[in-house]
Amino acid sequence: MKIRGFEICKGFSEINLPARSTKCSAGYDFEAAEDTVIPSYFKLILKKITAKEEEIIKPTFIKTGVKAYMPQDEVLHIYNRSSNPGKKGLVMANSVGIIDSDYYGNSDNDGHIMFAFYNFYPFDITIKKGEKIGQGIFQKYLLADNDAADGERTGGFGSTGI
């Protein structure tokens, strides 16, 4: 019987599932599923200023090719690697990612876990396929006494706020 773990998402192959590096590691290390260039935030700002563009600067999503399953009373928190800000200038756009149990296998993206990064170095950063990008920690959560949530997930990123 499966309780919690990881699977490869539809459309991906040759992906390493997240794994802990040591017996005392709390987090499961996630790897990039493909090479990804994360543009310099400063270069994007300069381009916006000089071109007088009004478009919003969005984070770059790094695909993992992985989805997670877990009991309904658990959540998977995804975090940046501690070395990414100092060594690569990478900061997660949402600080901590929240992967709910009902995100698994959703109709929009099969529950595909991605990491959203901004690059605060003055030059672009390339993440290579198989490079560690972050980690995930499974945790139980509690409900408030008056909780009455009864909604159903119908999609992927941001679908519960629609």
124-147 mean pLDDT: 97
Which residue type does 32 have? A
pLDDT band at 158 (very low <50, low <70, confident <90, very high): low
**DSSP helix/strand/coil, 7:** strand
Q: Which domains does the chain have, with CATH numbers?
A: 5-18+25-142 (2.70.40.10)
Rg of the chain over Cα atoms, rounded to whole angstroms, equals: 17
103-122 mean pLDDT: 96
| Helix, strand, coil percentages in the chain from 3-state DSSP, rounded to 5 | 15, 35, 55
Helices (H), the chain: 41-51, 84-88
- What pLDDT was estimated at residue 55? 78
Among 14-28, 41-55, 77-91, 117-131, the least confident range:
41-55
Question: Which residues lie across from 98 on neighbouring strands?
Answer: 77
